[in-house]
Structure 1
Amino acid sequence: MIDIRPFASLGHADHGWLDARHHFSFAGYHDLRRLGWGSIRVWNDDRIAAKTGFPPHPHRDMEIITYVRTGAISHQDSMGNCGRTPAGDVQVMSAGTGVRHAEYNLEDEETTLFQIWIETDKPGAEPNWGMMPFPKEARDGNFQLLASGDPGDGVLSINADARVLGATLKAGDAVTYAADPSRHLYLVPSARVLVNGVAANARDGVAITGEAAITIGAEADAELVLVDAR
């Protein structure tokens, strides 16, 4: 099953400094048909104005992944962590027993990012935060693993049975991902693609389950972000 969630159908909240699109029910956006996808609970497509951001606020028992698309995001939290994550790189936070954090766009330009929340498999765990740069060329024509619930994968670690991957495709190229039909995959492309022959446009959500493999063909140069979750 491949279900396209058109960008125009997503939840929308414009706060001036923040222009947010919600793939799943979040904050003031409620849609009983889009409460989540498997263990994926939030996928926000955020545009954050220069010199603005999210002031300190709390989280607990959630795995939070931030994929920066353009610009950069600066993080600070109650555990004493500080860091700047630029475009193409990823940060993760396991909220566990509870943490307060702030995310600011300290750049002179707009920052765009995906923030993804996945249900934790370890409620009550110690909170943790991490970031990691990833070589962009490793993503050319291939899916690169960015975050995983398996510490042996050598990437950013989360407390969930999930994988977060990124790829870039040139127009006319394609990539195939071997999937488990019992799992829930969610894909967001930056340009028009065909997913097993089904068309998805830029920033659409593609909810996938019951597929043994997915082949994504790009009709224009595209950046792909994919989550494979239980």
Structure 2
Amino acid sequence: MLRKIESKNMGKSDLGWLQSTFHFSFAEYYNPKNINFGVLRVLNDDLIEPQTGFDTHPHRDMEIISYVVQGSLTHGDSMGNRETLTRGQVQYMSAGTGVWHSEHNLGDNLLRLLQIWVLPDQKGYAPTYGDYRFAWSDRQNKWLPIVSGKNGEAPIKINQDVNFYVLELDQGKEINFSVESGRQAYVVQIEGSSQINDVALNARDALEVTEESITLKATERSHNMLIEMKKS
């Protein structure tokens, strides 16, 4: 089963320094029919102006993934980590029993990132932080696994049975993905456009896939993320 979610129907926020598109209920956007998709609780598409960002604030009991689309993201936290990531790179944080962190755009250009929260498989983990600087070429015309559960294939491991993949597909090319029985996936059209089976996606649209094989064809150069998980 496929269900398309158009970007124009998602939650929106404009704070001046921060413009956000909310795939699920978050902050001032609340829709009781759109709280989560399985263990995927938050997916925010954020645009952050230069020399601004999220000042130090707390989290707990959440697996947090940030995927940089453009610009540079500088992270700091109460565990002593401070790192700056750029396009296509990923940071992850298991908030666990509690952590304070900040996320800023200290560069001169607009920062775009996907901020993603996944519910952990249990509460009370020790907080952890890490990042991974994937080569851009590793996602060109193939699915690149970037995040998985502890027994998965991705270099980033989190405390949940979930698998993240990213892809940049050249115009006109096709690629397949099978969402097996008892599983579901959430596909984000980050940049460009594509046709997935009989569904057309434009930039910032999304697609829910439940127990179905898909063929993604790039109608123009297509940058996608796919998050696969147990069916809810």
CA contact (8 A) 1:39 1:118 kept: yes
Per-residue deviation, 1:153: 2.5
CA contact (8 A) 2:145 2:154 kept: no
Q: Which moved more, 1:151-160 or 1:2-11?
A: 151-160
Q: What code does the residue aligned with 2:20 have?
A: A
Distance 1:133 1:166 in 2: 13
Q: What code does the residue aligned with 2:11 have?
A: G
Distance 2:180 2:105 in 1: 37
Report the counterpart of residue 193 of structure 2 in structure 1: 192
Report the counterpart of residue 37 of structure 2 in structure 1: 37
Q: Kindly tell me the number of residue pairs found equivalent between the two proteins.
A: 229
- Secondary structure class of the residue paired with 2:91: strand
- Secondary structure class of the residue paired with 1:130: strand
Per-residue deviation, 1:205: 1.3
What pairs with 1:21-170 in structure 2 (closer than 5 Å)?
A: 21-150=21-150, 153=153, 155-170=155-170
The TM-score normalised by the length of structure 2 is 0.96
Distance 2:182 2:201 in 1: 22
- Secondary structure class of the residue paired with 1:83: strand
Distance 1:79 1:167 in 2: 32
1:183–1:218 Cα change, 3 Å? same
Q: What code does the residue aligned with 1:137 have?
A: S
CA displacement, residues 178-218 of structure 1 (integer Å, 9 cap, x when unaligned) = 2223222111111221112211111101111121x221111
Unpaired runs of 5+ residues, structure 2, are none
Distance 2:229 2:119 in 1: 10
CA displacement, residues 144-175 of structure 1 (integer Å, 9 cap, x when unaligned) = 00111125625111111111110001110111
Report the counterpart of residue 204 of structure 2 in structure 1: 203
1:207–1:25 Cα change, 3 Å? same
Unpaired runs of 5+ residues, structure 1, are none
CA contact (8 A) 2:164 2:225 kept: yes
Distance 2:224 2:53 in 1: 25
Alpha-carbon RMSD across the aligned residues, in angstroms, is 1.1
Distance 1:210 1:135 in 2: 31
Distance 2:27 2:5 in 1: 19
1:214–1:150 Cα change, 3 Å? farther
Report the counterpart of residue 219 of structure 2 in structure 1: 219
The structure 1 segments of at least 4 consecutive aligned residues displaced by more than 3 Å after TM superposition are none
The TM-score normalised by the length of structure 1 is 0.96
Q: What code does the residue aligned with 2:207 have?
A: V
CA contact (8 A) 2:59 2:95 kept: yes
CA contact (8 A) 1:96 1:122 kept: no
Per-residue deviation, 1:141: 0.8
CA contact (8 A) 1:74 1:104 kept: yes
Q: What code does the residue aligned with 2:29 have?
A: Y
1:57–1:210 Cα change, 3 Å? same
Distance 1:147 1:27 in 2: 25
Distance 1:229 1:152 in 2: 12
- Secondary structure class of the residue paired with 2:163: strand
CA contact (8 A) 2:146 2:154 kept: no
